[in-house]
């Protein structure tokens, strides 16, 4: 290699080094965040506007199912996702071996207890009939809500997939009736009370925060989260993303847009 070639070679190395270390170019690359269509994606569109003011560029990628966002994140096709609650993420990590972790809470689609016959669960009569969803995840969720309200008591190790067989104390001898979750709003007249998922309640014109006689706490186990790969959890852009999401502007947007059918966790 002659002198001229050596000069060109080392000059090239200098350019390459400047490209790698340039903070401007690093900021130009957007953070890809996955979300399911609907409220999750709509809220992120607002988060995106705030994040840009803090120097963080976001690219929102929408998905139509619950499987792909975690698969894409684990594979490196996404930098984060926002669509799932913690129990679902935990199950995915356990079953699929994903090295993913939640870095912040977002919103809850709260399950509420509704009734056309009583104003409070304290007014339940002995032998009252309470409708709950008949699938394992939402059925357990309903029973945990009833336990939190003092209606029943479950085995200590029942967990999030509790069933009526896990009830160990039932002071008013209430009858738990399992029914398809989507059918519960239309069957409310048949029960003294019923635990109904937020999305089904909303479609029936019921607001969890206005019409329910009991509702899940916004920071309960079913609050949704933002997930990232384990190795990224302490990166500066993660803190900026959470800061933008947990802003007063986003809380106001969620409250006004979804009429309290979606509850913020901050």
Instruction: Report, as ranges of residue numbers, the positions in the chain whose pLDDT lies below 50.
Output: 6-7, 10-11, 13-26
Residue at 14 is within a domain: no
Domains in the chain, number: 2
**Which among 210, 203, 261, 217 is positioned nearest to 42, based on CA atoms?**
261
Confidence (pLDDT) at 2: 53
How far is the C-alpha of 40 from the C-alpha of 194, rounded, in Å? 27
Distance of CA 63 to the CA centre of its chain: 15
Residue 204 has a pLDDT of 87
CA distance 227 to 103: 6
Q: 17-30, pLDDT tens digit by residue?
A: 433 433 333 456 89
Query: Strand 107-108 relative to strand 100-105: parallel, antiparallel, unpaired?
Result: unpaired
Angle, CA of 30, 255 and 248, to the nearest 5°:
55
C-alpha span between 37 and 65 (Å, rounded): 9
pLDDT for residue 205: 86
Residue 103 pLDDT? 98
Q: Looking at the domain assignment, is residue 197 inside a domain?
A: yes
Query: Domain with 206 in it: what CATH number?
Result: 3.40.190.10
pLDDT value, residue 23:
39
Strands 112-114 and 193-196, by their bridges, are: antiparallel
Residue 87 sits in which domain range?
28-109+221-264
- Is 0.75 topped by the overall pTM? no
pLDDT digits (tens, 9 = 90+) for 126-152: 999 999 999 877 899 999 999 999 999
């Amino acid at each position: 290699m002659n002198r001229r070639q050596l000069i060109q070679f080392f000059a090239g190395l200098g350019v390459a080094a400047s490209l790698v270390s340039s903070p401007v170019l690093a900021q130009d690359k957007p953070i890809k965040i996955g979300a399911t269509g609907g409220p999750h994606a709509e809220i992120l569109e607002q988060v995106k506007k705030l994040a840009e003011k803090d120097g963080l560029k976001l690219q929102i990628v929408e998905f139509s199912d619950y499987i792909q966002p975690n698969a894409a994140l684990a594979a490196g096709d996404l930098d984060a996702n926002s669509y799932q609650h913690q129990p679902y993420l935990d199950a995915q990590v356990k079953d699929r071996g994903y090295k993913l972790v939640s870095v912040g809470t977002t919103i809850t689609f709260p399950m509420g207890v509704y009734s056309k016959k009583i104003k409070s669960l304290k007014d339940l009569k002995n032998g009252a009939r309470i409708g709950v969803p008949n699938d394992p995840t939402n059925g357990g969720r309903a029973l945990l809500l009833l336990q939190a309200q003092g209606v029943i008591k479950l085995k200590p190790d029942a967990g999030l997939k509790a069933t009526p067989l896990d009830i160990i104390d039932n002071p008013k001898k209430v009858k738990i009736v399992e029914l398809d979750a989507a059918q519960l709003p239309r069957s409310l007249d048949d029960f003294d009370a019923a635990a109904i998922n937020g999305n089904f309640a909303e479609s029936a014109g019921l607001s969890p925060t206005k019409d329910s006689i009991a509702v899940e706490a916004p920071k309960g186990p079913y609050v949704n989260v933002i997930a990232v790969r384990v190795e990224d959890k302490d990166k500066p852009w993660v803190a900026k993303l959470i800061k933008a999401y947990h802003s007063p502007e986003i809380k106001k947007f969620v409250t006004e847009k979804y009429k309290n059918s979606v509850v913020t966790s901050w």
